[in-house]
A and B are shown apart, each in its own frame.
Chain A
Amino acid sequence: MSELIKKVTQLLNDKTVDVFIGYGKGSADRIRAIFVRSAEQTEKLVLNSACTQNLAGYILKQEVKHLGKIGVLANVAALRSMLQLASEFQVKDGEVLALFANPDGTLTEFIDFHSIEVFLTTTDTGITSDEQERIAQLEALTVSERWNFWNKEFEKCIKCYACRAACPMCYCHRCTTDVNQPQWIPVASHERGNLDYHLMRAMHLAGRCVNCGECASACPMDIPLNLLTYQLISPIKTGFGATAGMKADAVYALSTYKPDDKENFII
Chain B
Amino acid sequence: MEKELKILKYSDLSKLIERFHAKGFPVLAPVRKGKVVEIELVESLGDIALDVLLSTQSAKKTAFPKVEKVLKYTLAKSGVTQHPVDPDTARETILFGVRPCDASGFKSLDAIFGEAPGDQFYLKKKEKTAIISFSCPEADEYCFCTSVGGGPGNTAGSDLQFTGIGKDEIFVEILTEKGKQIAAIFADLLSDSPAGIDKTKFLADVKVVFDSDKVVENTSASFNNAALWLEQSLRCIGCGACAFVCPTCACFDFQDEQNTKQGVRLRLWDSCGFSLFTLHTSGHNPREVQSQRWRQRIMHKFSYMPQQLHVVGCEGCGRCSRACPVDMNIKEHLTAIAQVG
**Which A residues fall within an 8 A CB radius of B?**
26-28, 30-35, 53, 57-58, 61-64, 156, 158-162, 164-166, 173-174, 178, 180, 183, 186-190, 193, 214, 217-222
Contacts and interface: CB of A to CB of B under 8 A. Distances in A.
B185 to A, nearest CB: 32
B255 A160 contact: no
A164 B33 CA distance: 23
A57 B120 CA distance: 42
30 contacts: A27-B142, A31-B327, A33-B234, A33-B235, A33-B326, A34-B235, A35-B234, A62-B289, A63-B234, A63-B291, A64-B234, A156-B36, A156-B38, A158-B57, A158-B244, A158-B269, A160-B241, A161-B274, A162-B237, A162-B239, A180-B255, A217-B325, A218-B237, A218-B241, A219-B325, A220-B56, A220-B323, A220-B325, A221-B56, A222-B36
B67 interface: yes
B21 to A, nearest CB: 24
B239 A188 contact: no
A189 B325 contact: no
A31 B289 CA distance: 24
Contacts of B332: 27
A220 B325 CA distance: 8
- Specify which of B241, B253, B255 lies most central, judged by the most chain A CB atoms within 10 Å of its CB: B241
A169 B119 CA distance: 40
Interface in B13-53: 33-36, 38
A26 B329 contact: yes
The 9 closest A-B pairs by CB, nearest first: A218-B325, A165-B239, A220-B323, A32-B327, A162-B239, A160-B240, A165-B237, A26-B327, A160-B241
A27 B322 CA distance: 9
B266 interface: yes
B234 A189 contact: no
- Specify which of B237, B271, B289 lies most central, judged by the most chain A CB atoms within 10 Å of its CB: B237
A164 to B, nearest CB: 7
B141 interface: yes
A222 B35 contact: yes
A36 B273 CA distance: 24
A158 B66 contact: yes
A27 B327 contact: yes
B289 A63 contact: yes
Contact of B268 (A57, A188, A221, A222): A188
B268 A187 contact: yes
A159 B289 contact: no
Given A63-B234, A188-B266, A220-B244, 15 more contacts: A27-B332, A30-B327, A35-B234, A63-B289, A159-B240, A160-B239, A162-B239, A162-B325, A164-B239, A174-B276, A180-B255, A219-B325, A220-B56, A222-B34, A222-B36
A189 B33 contact: no
Nearest to A219: B325
Given A28-B141, A222-B35, A222-B36, A189 B66 contact: yes
Nearest to B288: A62
Contacts of B155: none
B196 to A, nearest CB: 37
B245 to A, nearest CB: 6
A222 B56 CA distance: 10
A63 B230 contact: yes
Contacts of A34: 235
Contacts of B323: 220
A22 B124 CA distance: 49
Given A27-B327, A165-B325, A187-B268, A220 B66 contact: no
A188 B267 CA distance: 8
Given A27-B327, A32-B326, A189-B66, A165 B238 contact: yes
A223 to B, nearest CB: 9
Contacts of A61: 234, 237, 290
